[in-house]
Structure 1
Amino acid sequence: MTAGRARVDGSTGAVGSAPDIAPPLRAGGNVRWVICALLFFATTINYIDRQVIGILKPTLQGELGWSEVDYGTIVFWFQAAYAIGLLLCGPVIDRIGSKLGYAAAITVWSLAALAHALVRSPGGFATMRFALGLGESANFPAAIKSVAEWFPKKERALAAGILNAGANVGAIATPIIVPIIALTYGWQAAFIGTGLLGFIWLAAWLAFYRAPEHHPRLSQQELAYITSDQDNDAGAAPIPWRDLFRRRATWSFVCAKFLTDPVWYLFLFWLPDFFAKRHGLDLKTFGPPLIAVYLLADVGSIGGGWLSSALIKRGFSVNAGRKLALLVCALGVLPIMFASTVSSLVAAVAIIGLAAAAHQGWSSNLYTMVSDTFPKSSVASVMGIGGAAGAVGGMIMARYVGHVLETVGSYAPVFVWAGTAYLLALAIVHVLVPRLDPKAV
């Protein structure tokens, strides 16, 4: 090998020449970002289908005579199914792969979304929400597994932030689309129109998605870039469940999801109602405030993922980069404790929007920590376990919020609880996992 060229064994070239330094790998293509775009749109559809009932809550309560407890029960059963589905879908997706797992999931949840138009009673809606929760539970385990397969570690948080931003885009699109459909054609049409979106995405997913090593459009250069800083675990068997529960990294993710996921569910299922009760908005007027909140959440989702990736590229360790980003996000949620006390709608939107942005930035980094500490063959399983814990937290939240609104009539206690959850979760994460190292957890 000539002087100045990198040697395979890492030694230098001829005597007196400059030390050989291997040039940084270039991506050599953008197929991975097309995959990321598909994950983004799936998450968008997931959240549109999930949030329709929150947008229609005042309408359905008035037309069908639901109480606050009835609505809390309907949300409870969605969360219960979501928890059950997450526990079941993770190992299944790890075994059958993201392509088939995602396809099955979006088929189930889209059919369930359509079926909402056929029911009227609280029991009927609870049944349909249960089916929706089972299908939707597979979204994030499949998506984060796909990110672990398709992105090097230094890009994973950004990719997770982009796909996670789909939740915010869905939350933005819903208050725009649903009121128009509902006011023009009735609330049943809103469930039918949004439920059909999943089948459009399904066709694109089946046509384009392949594992990286089998994708016909992926260049060898981009494949080398994708695997450049990944652990050599491509052929590793999934970690048995009993061993996953023996790992501190599993419990740190479980605790963090249990404490913080309910805050996001609070936004999805109760924010339109908060604006209606506290600021006198209705189906025709609460769209712009909701859009503003979720636009801010979009910025937080991508910004939070970018922040830790930028810190790591600037020399911070993965551990320091992820946890500093989590700390910034946890501090951003604190002001929500005052959201119910301000009289200005603009101030309330700003405070809640900041909290939503911080939550999404938090989630982008929390998801990425799973792929930092577990082999790709077990990512979906860990995501499922943690997601189930978050859904259980959401079940408790649904009962709690319904009870508080029936008895106290104010969101103030709920927002105080939400503001403190993230700092507590970060403290638990750091105590359980002082270093983000697969060998240390």
Structure 2
Amino acid sequence: MTPIKDTHPSASSAVESGAPGARVGNFRWVICGLLFFATMINYMDRQIIGVLKPQLSHELGWTDTGYANIVSAFQLAYACGYLFGGRLMDRFGVRRGLSWAAFLWSVAAVAHGLVRTVLGFSIARLGLGLAEGGNFPAAIKTVTEWFPLKERALATGVFNSASNIGAIVCPLTVPLLAAKFGWPAAFYITGALGLGWIVAWALLYDSPETHPRLSVAERAYIEEGRVVTTEAAAPWLSLLRFRAAWAYMIAGLLAGPVWWFYLFWLPDFLQKRYHLTLQQTGVRVGIVYTMAIVGSIGGGWLAAKLIGRGWSLNAARKTSLLVCAVCVTPVFFAASVENSWVTVALVGLAAAAHQGWSANLYTFVSDTMPKRAVSSVVGLGGFVSGIASMGNAQVVGYVVTKTGSYALIFAWASTMYLLSLLAIQILVPKLVDARENERRVVTDDGTSV
């Protein structure tokens, strides 16, 4: 698999030529919009159980340990779904792959409303996790294919902000649905949303090389400076030759579980620590994720702004990561303050910083890895993060049960991003552009691919 010289004209030459359609269009942002809504639905499906945890614990007799087992089932499946979903996206493409993933996670979401035991919920969570694991590898691969390098962090931040929209909509609407129609209805409705999204994806998505709605100028703008290769997926073992792949996996191992802690345990923490109602908790969780939206888009914007000002890719990406890592550290005090709104501010800042971090960390993969390997590397990192998050759920359940406090957990969360950035800097002191790495992917026996 050897690189092929890019024969497409540059965007600038297309514009200068005065050819019809020379003005660079914005259809790529329609594709980003589709990713946005897929991610929003994806997060609503997974977070419902965290919002309903107090009610389900009361009605169905769950313990914190039982809930931890349900969470761990999802995270184990999600890790595997990330790993193999990323591989399948690289092999079969995102048009088919993401459609099937959305169909399967929608069916699994509906199944939650049909079960009543810890075992039943664990099985439903296994199915949900396996299918949902394909979303982010597919989305990052889509951004790599549809956006030029300088816009990728921003595009990633935009679609990734939908995870926060989903996390806001969920605690604000699910308690109302549960009160009026019963808790199973919440699972049925979000499952139906996923099925509706599949129709829109089928109607609007195609690859940028062949999409009939993409102008010549916008296609050239997307492909400017890109090395075009054949599309066979790179072998897994060949990816482990890249320090960038290891750096991404270590960052996922250290910082990835923090987000899952917020997602699945924050409502429980707020309710127990400040004795809030389900609706009061929902409002506070919604504010946390509203702040996270700003961080998601802001993190991508910061990197794009620095690159636009002439900063090197290495300096812009790592400075953005450093800013986000530093902003997480005040969450150390979240469990010790007496005012719930101060806690919301601290956790909201940390959540915003995490999302800005994620926008740049995901883009770090497309910065450094060949296009045909992006989903596979994202999948490897997601697998590592998911396994770590599964273990972390057990630790959180144990610590909360034994101590009755979340203080140790917040202390742990405050340090993981700086440690992750240190690992990235040690392994990848200078980012190697993906165009160079296109020439370095080799097969397991050492021959070029």
**Fold match by TM threshold 0.5:** yes
Per-residue CA deviations over 1:1-21 (Å, capped at 9, x if unaligned) read xxxxxxxxxxxxxxxxxxxx9
**Aligned residue for 2:209?**
213
**Aligned residue for 2:136?**
140
Per-residue CA deviations over 1:108-162 (Å, capped at 9, x if unaligned) read 1000000001111101100000000000000000000000000000000000000
Q: Partner amino acid for 1:183?
A: A
Over aligned residues, Cα RMSD in angstroms? 1.4
Q: Helix, strand or coil for the counterpart of 2:280?
A: coil
Q: Partner amino acid for 2:315?
A: A
Q: Partner amino acid for 1:263?
A: V
Describe how 1:323-402 pairs up with structure 2 within 5 A: 323-402=318-397
How far, CA to CA, are the matches of 2:105 and 2:62 in structure 1?
Answer: 24
Pair 1:281 & 2:253 matched: no
Pair 1:38 & 2:18 matched: no
How far, CA to CA, are the matches of 2:38 and 2:178 in structure 1?
Answer: 23
How far, CA to CA, are the matches of 1:386 and 1:79 in structure 2?
Answer: 13
Determine if contact 1:236/1:375 at 8 Å carries over to the other structure: no
Match of 1:113 among 98, 109, 116: 109
The answer for unaligned runs of 5 or more in structure 1 is 1-20
Per-residue CA deviations over 1:289-322 (Å, capped at 9, x if unaligned) read 1111001000000000000011011000111100
Q: Partner amino acid for 1:316?
A: W
Offset of residue 240 of structure 1? 1.0
Match of 1:421 among 413, 416, 432: 416
Pair 1:306 & 2:298 matched: no
Q: Partner amino acid for 1:290?
A: V
**Aligned residue for 2:19?**
none
How far, CA to CA, are the matches of 1:320 and 1:86 in structure 2?
Answer: 29
**Could you say if the C-alpha distance between residues 52 and 27 of structure 1 is closer, same or farther in structure 2, counting changes exceeding 3 Å?**
farther
How far, CA to CA, are the matches of 1:98 and 1:27 in structure 2?
Answer: 27
Q: Helix, strand or coil for the counterpart of 1:200?
A: helix
How far, CA to CA, are the matches of 2:305 and 2:201 in structure 1?
Answer: 30
Q: Partner amino acid for 1:119?
A: V
How far, CA to CA, are the matches of 1:86 and 1:43 in structure 2?
Answer: 14
**Aligned residue for 1:409?**
404
How far, CA to CA, are the matches of 2:72 and 2:108 in structure 1?
Answer: 16
Q: Helix, strand or coil for the counterpart of 1:306?
A: helix
Determine if contact 2:154/2:301 at 8 Å carries over to the other structure: yes
How far, CA to CA, are the matches of 1:219 and 1:24 in structure 2?
Answer: 11
Determine if contact 1:153/1:229 at 8 Å carries over to the other structure: no
**Aligned residue for 1:130?**
126
Match of 1:223 among 219, 222, 229: 219
Per-residue CA deviations over 1:231-262 (Å, capped at 9, x if unaligned) read x1342532211111121111100000111111
Pair 1:28 & 2:24 matched: yes
Q: Helix, strand or coil for the counterpart of 1:315?
A: coil
How far, CA to CA, are the matches of 1:22 and 1:124 in structure 2?
Answer: 59
Offset of residue 24 of structure 1? 8.0
How far, CA to CA, are the matches of 1:163 and 1:23 in structure 2?
Answer: 28
Q: Helix, strand or coil for the counterpart of 2:209?
A: helix
Determine if contact 2:44/2:170 at 8 Å carries over to the other structure: yes
How far, CA to CA, are the matches of 1:77 and 1:22 in structure 2?
Answer: 53
How far, CA to CA, are the matches of 2:107 and 2:13 in structure 1?
Answer: 52
How far, CA to CA, are the matches of 2:30 and 2:74 in structure 1?
Answer: 31
**Aligned residue for 2:8?**
none
How far, CA to CA, are the matches of 1:155 and 1:120 in structure 2?
Answer: 46
Percent pairwise identity: 52
**Aligned residue for 2:5?**
none
Pair 1:235 & 2:220 matched: no
Q: Helix, strand or coil for the counterpart of 1:213?
A: coil
Determine if contact 1:27/1:225 at 8 Å carries over to the other structure: no
How far, CA to CA, are the matches of 1:236 and 1:269 in structure 2?
Answer: 37
**Rg bigger for which structure?**
1
How far, CA to CA, are the matches of 2:202 and 2:151 in structure 1?
Answer: 25
Pair 1:99 & 2:95 matched: yes
How far, CA to CA, are the matches of 1:292 and 1:237 in structure 2?
Answer: 44
Q: Helix, strand or coil for the counterpart of 2:279?
A: coil
Offset of residue 416 of structure 1? 0.4
Q: Partner amino acid for 2:394?
A: R
How far, CA to CA, are the matches of 1:341 and 1:370 in structure 2?
Answer: 37
Q: Partner amino acid for 1:87?
A: L
Determine if contact 2:15/2:23 at 8 Å carries over to the other structure: no
**Aligned residue for 1:152?**
148
Per-residue CA deviations over 1:45-69 (Å, capped at 9, x if unaligned) read 0000000000000000000010000
How far, CA to CA, are the matches of 2:233 and 2:365 in structure 1?
Answer: 14
Normalised to the residue count of structure 1, the TM-score between the two structures is: 0.93
Determine if contact 2:81/2:130 at 8 Å carries over to the other structure: yes
Q: Partner amino acid for 1:388?
A: F
How far, CA to CA, are the matches of 1:240 and 1:62 in structure 2?
Answer: 48
Offset of residue 284 of structure 1? 2.0
How far, CA to CA, are the matches of 2:389 and 2:395 in structure 1?
Answer: 10
Q: Partner amino acid for 1:353?
A: G
The answer for unaligned runs of 5 or more in structure 2 is 1-11, 17-21, 441-449
How far, CA to CA, are the matches of 2:329 and 2:90 in structure 1?
Answer: 36
Q: Partner amino acid for 2:358?
A: S
**Could you say if the C-alpha distance between residues 310 and 23 of structure 1 is closer, same or farther in structure 2, counting changes exceeding 3 Å?**
farther
**Could you say if the C-alpha distance between residues 322 and 115 of structure 1 is closer, same or farther in structure 2, counting changes exceeding 3 Å?**
same
Q: Partner amino acid for 2:173?
A: I
Offset of residue 229 of structure 1? 3.1
Tell me the matched-pair count.
420
Q: Partner amino acid for 1:249?
A: A
Q: Helix, strand or coil for the counterpart of 2:327?
A: helix
Determine if contact 1:105/1:135 at 8 Å carries over to the other structure: yes
Determine if contact 1:332/1:354 at 8 Å carries over to the other structure: yes
Determine if contact 1:117/1:192 at 8 Å carries over to the other structure: yes
Q: Partner amino acid for 1:287?
A: G
**Aligned residue for 1:266?**
261
How far, CA to CA, are the matches of 2:196 and 2:13 in structure 1?
Answer: 44
Pair 1:49 & 2:37 matched: no
